[in-house]
């Protein structure tokens, strides 16, 4: 299942581009990034450089992060969203020197859609060259010319791979990992915050290497990737701990998972392309619903569905817990002012970045999509493991590692006071409303509701069978009785006396008209 950031319109933007070379013989990617939702055995040309790759991700208002690729011959530069929530490369422009596959594919995102022919072209991605890369040429008009999406999910989540199985339908990373055997099969992503006064950086993306200063990520718990056994597509998803979300009041937000067998371990898909994380409605209510002045409403062009508007001066601190590691969310991310909108009085409109999950984003395989507002608070490493199709390496199961970034609560508080309150700390004035004001909504279903109908029915099968047998026997008996009864005479025997009451009833007229003979003279 594929998903999109709030709107394709959100990333119709421009950015300056310059190539930076990182130390340690690594590559710098530059560009921006943005979201989609959720593409025969041939010899491969040698990739340009067999070394790790790094890249700067340029940030547009905390909503979009892009990088640059080139496609075709002669090479044409295209700005693409780096998106862990999908697997396919899609572009909204004609590519010179392309080859048409003769096949088409559709990708439906939470908002928007990509549809069009599958084409092949030479791809260059900061030092790596893939001579024949499959991509979807969007013909819907949703993607702007010169822009696109590069999915970083596994091959098993690829729409193109479903249409063109085998090497020709491989994803970009599958091609890179298979042919660049000296590069470890993992990627890392670090997203920046545009209005952070103490940590100014747009973001970084690496293939096969860890950023300097963040080496501790390799010692973080390895979160097993929850493998999807349905046709919904594989995503980078893992389970939170039991009661693994701590609300603004410091108490766990208790919910049950929608996912079969997950119980109270909510399943999260990690999606660098989703600007607004999608969470269960009851979780969004618990985070924002008790803030005085907060409202759940529809904002035109924002979010694609109901979203909380929240007073901009409300400092809300929430935490996610995965593998026993607490990941605090910066209050500038919990309540976002990145929309650049004002109300009728000229006041900035702030929103609760953790949005009630859109119906189009819901899945039976995960409970939430943890997008940019979450990932700005954790450096993420995704190890593809045996998700690299056709790899000759001895690989282990895929996993995710998360290194908390917002670990200094005092600094985060100071950032909030500086950015939202003009340096005047009034956060102590916020008093949450009682929990009784929250609506009675729990879209994390009870565990029993996660069972299929047949599973729910199984304990009662003996009684159902016994009851059905008894009912069947009764029905057969009734039919036999009716058949036998239909053979009995339906007339009154002659020897039986006439009905009592007419002939002997005194002063009663006969039941029929009496015959009176008449003479005819």
Q: Is 233 a residue whose pLDDT tops 80?
A: no
Q: What is the dihedral of CA 273, 277, 279, 284, to 10 degrees?
A: -160
CA distance 203 to 35: 15
Q: Is 118 a residue whose pLDDT tops 50?
A: yes
Q: Is 494 a residue whose pLDDT tops 70?
A: no
Yes or no: say if 250 and 61 are a contact pair by the CB < 8 Å rule.
no
Q: Is 211 a residue whose pLDDT tops 80?
A: yes
For 449, which DSSP code?
A: G
In a domain, 44, yes or no: yes
What pLDDT is stored for residue 86 in this prediction? 85
The whole-number average pLDDT for the span 162-189 is: 90
CA distance 383 to 393: 13
Lowest model confidence (mean pLDDT) among 103-112, 117-126, 483-492: 483-492
CA distance 192 to 205: 11
In a domain, 149, yes or no: yes
Single out the residue of 324, 163, 315 nearest to residue 243, CA to CA.
Answer: 324
CATH of the domain at 247: 2.40.70.10
Beta strand 267-270 pairing with 368-370 = parallel
The whole-number average pLDDT for the span 90-104 is: 95
Lowest model confidence (mean pLDDT) among 105-119, 351-365, 424-438: 105-119
CA distance 322 to 328: 11
The whole-number average pLDDT for the span 32-59 is: 31
Structure tokens at 379: 């450096």
CA distance 151 to 160: 11
Top pLDDT among 210 and 468 is at 210
Top pLDDT among 135 and 466 is at 135
Q: How confident is the model at residue 194 (pLDDT cuts 50, 70, 90)?
A: low
Could you list the residue range(s) of the whole structural domain that residue 404 is in? 8-444
What pLDDT is stored for residue 5 in this prediction? 38
Segment 54-63, tens digit of pLDDT: 444 444 444 5
Lowest model confidence (mean pLDDT) among 174-178, 349-353, 497-501: 497-501
What pLDDT is stored for residue 228 in this prediction? 66
In a domain, 368, yes or no: yes
Q: Is 43 a residue whose pLDDT tops 70?
A: no
In a domain, 351, yes or no: yes
The whole-number average pLDDT for the span 291-302 is: 91
What pLDDT is stored for residue 66 in this prediction? 81
What pLDDT is stored for residue 248 in this prediction? 98
The whole-number average pLDDT for the span 81-105 is: 92
What pLDDT is stored for residue 127 in this prediction? 78
Diameter over CA atoms, the chain: 144
Top pLDDT among 22 and 444 is at 444
Single out the residue of 388, 390, 404, 234 nearest to residue 319, CA to CA.
Answer: 404
Q: How confident is the model at residue 488 (pLDDT cuts 50, 70, 90)?
A: low
Q: Is 377 a residue whose pLDDT tops 70?
A: yes
Using DSSP, state whether 40 is helix, strand or coil.
Answer: coil
Scan for tokens 């969007």, then name that residue: 138
In a domain, 358, yes or no: yes
Segment 380-393, tens digit of pLDDT: 999 998 666 654 45
What pLDDT is stored for residue 181 in this prediction? 79
Q: Is 361 a residue whose pLDDT tops 50?
A: yes
What pLDDT is stored for residue 459 in this prediction? 52
Single out the residue of 187, 204, 270, 197 nearest to residue 59, CA to CA.
Answer: 204
Beta strand 318-322 pairing with 245-246 = antiparallel
Report how many domains make up the chain: 1
Q: Is 376 a residue whose pLDDT tops 50?
A: yes
φ and ψ at 282, to 5 degrees?
-65, -30
What pLDDT is stored for residue 301 in this prediction? 76
Lowest model confidence (mean pLDDT) among 154-158, 371-375, 382-386, 479-483: 479-483
Segment 215-224, tens digit of pLDDT: 999 999 999 9
Q: How confident is the model at residue 272 (pLDDT cuts 50, 70, 90)?
A: confident
Q: How confident is the model at residue 421 (pLDDT cuts 50, 70, 90)?
A: very high
What pLDDT is stored for residue 520 in this prediction? 39
Using DSSP, state whether 383 is helix, strand or coil.
Answer: strand
What pLDDT is stored for residue 221 in this prediction? 98
Mean pLDDT of the residues in the chain: 77
What pLDDT is stored for residue 435 in this prediction? 94
CA distance 485 to 479: 10
What pLDDT is stored for residue 55 in this prediction? 42
CA distance 499 to 489: 19
In a domain, 420, yes or no: yes
Structure tokens at 436: 């009784």
Measured over the CA atoms of residue 239, residue 241, residue 242 and residue 243, the dihedral's sign is negative
In a domain, 453, yes or no: no
What pLDDT is stored for residue 389 in this prediction? 60
What pLDDT is stored for residue 232 in this prediction? 56
Segment 444-486, tens digit of pLDDT: 444 444 443 444 444 555 656 666 677 777 778 777 776 666 6
For 407, other C-beta atoms within 10 Å of its C-beta total 12
Q: How confident is the model at residue 71 (pLDDT cuts 50, 70, 90)?
A: very high
Share of the chain above pLDDT 90, in %: 47
Q: Is 46 a residue whose pLDDT tops 60?
A: no
């Amino acid at each position: 299942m594929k998903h999109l950031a709030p709107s394709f319109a959100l990333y119709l933007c421009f950015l300056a581009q310059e190539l930076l070379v990182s130390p340690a013989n690594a590559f710098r990617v530059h560009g921006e990034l943005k979201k989609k939702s959720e593409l025969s055995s041939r010899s491969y040309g040698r990739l340009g450089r067999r070394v790790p790759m790094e890249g700067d991700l340029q940030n547009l208002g905390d909503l979009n992060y892009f990088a640059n690729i080139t496609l075709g011959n002669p090479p044409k530069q295209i700005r693409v969203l780096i998106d862990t929530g999908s697997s396919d490369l899609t572009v909204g422009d004609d590519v010179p020197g392309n080859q048409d596959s003769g096949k088409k594919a559709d990708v439906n995102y939470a908002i928007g859609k990509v549809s069009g022919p599958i084409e092949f072209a030479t791809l260059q991605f900061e030092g790596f060259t893939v001579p024949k890369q499959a991509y979807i040429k969007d013909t819907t008009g949703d993607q702007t010319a010169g822009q696109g999406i590069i999915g970083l999910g596994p091959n098993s989540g690829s729409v193109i791979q479903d249409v063109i199985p085998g090497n020709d339908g491989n994803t970009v990373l599958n091609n890179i990992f298979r042919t660049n055997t000296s590069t470890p099969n993992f990627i890392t992503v670090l997203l920046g915050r545009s209005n952070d006064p103490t940590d100014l950086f747009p973001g970084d993306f690496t293939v096969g290497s860890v950023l300097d200063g963040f080496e501790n990520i390799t010692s973080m718990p390895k979160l097993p990737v929850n493998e999807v056994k349905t046709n919904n597509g594989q995503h980078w998803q893992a389970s939170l701990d039991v009661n693994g979300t701590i609300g603004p009041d410091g108490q766990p937000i208790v919910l049950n998972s929608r996912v079969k067998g997950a119980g109270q371990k909510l399943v999260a898909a990690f999606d660098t392309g989703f600007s607004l994380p999608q969470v269960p409605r009851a979780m969004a209510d618990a985070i924002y619903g008790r803030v005085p002045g907060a409202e759940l409403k529809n904002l035109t062009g924002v979010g694609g569905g109901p979203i909380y508007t929240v007073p901009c001066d409300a400092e809300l601190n929430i935490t996610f817990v995965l593998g026993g590691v607490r990941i605090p969310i910066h209050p500038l991310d919990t309540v976002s002012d990145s929309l650049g909108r004002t109300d009728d009085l000229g006041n900035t409109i702030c929103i609760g970045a953790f949005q009630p999950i859109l119906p189009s984003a819901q899945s039976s395989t995960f409970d939430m999509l943890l997008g940019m507002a979450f990932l700005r608070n954790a450096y993420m490493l995704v190890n593809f493991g045996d998700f690299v199709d056709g790899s000759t390496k001895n690989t282990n199961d895929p996993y995710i590692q998360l290194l908390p970034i917002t670990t200094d609560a005092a600094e985060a508080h100071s950032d909030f006071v500086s950015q939202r309150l003009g340096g005047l700390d009034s956060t102590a004035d916020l008093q949450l409303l009682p929990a009784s004001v929250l609506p009675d909504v729990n879209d994390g279903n009870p565990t029993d509701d996660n069972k299929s109908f047949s599973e729910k029915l199984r304990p009662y099968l003996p009684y159902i069978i016994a009851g059905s047998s008894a009912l069947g026997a009764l029905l057969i008996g009734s039919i036999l009785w009716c058949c036998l009864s239909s053979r009995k005479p339906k007339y009154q025997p002659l020897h039986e006396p006439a009905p009592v009451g007419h002939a002997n009833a005194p002063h009663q007229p006969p039941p029929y008209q009496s015959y009176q003979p008449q003479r005819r003279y």
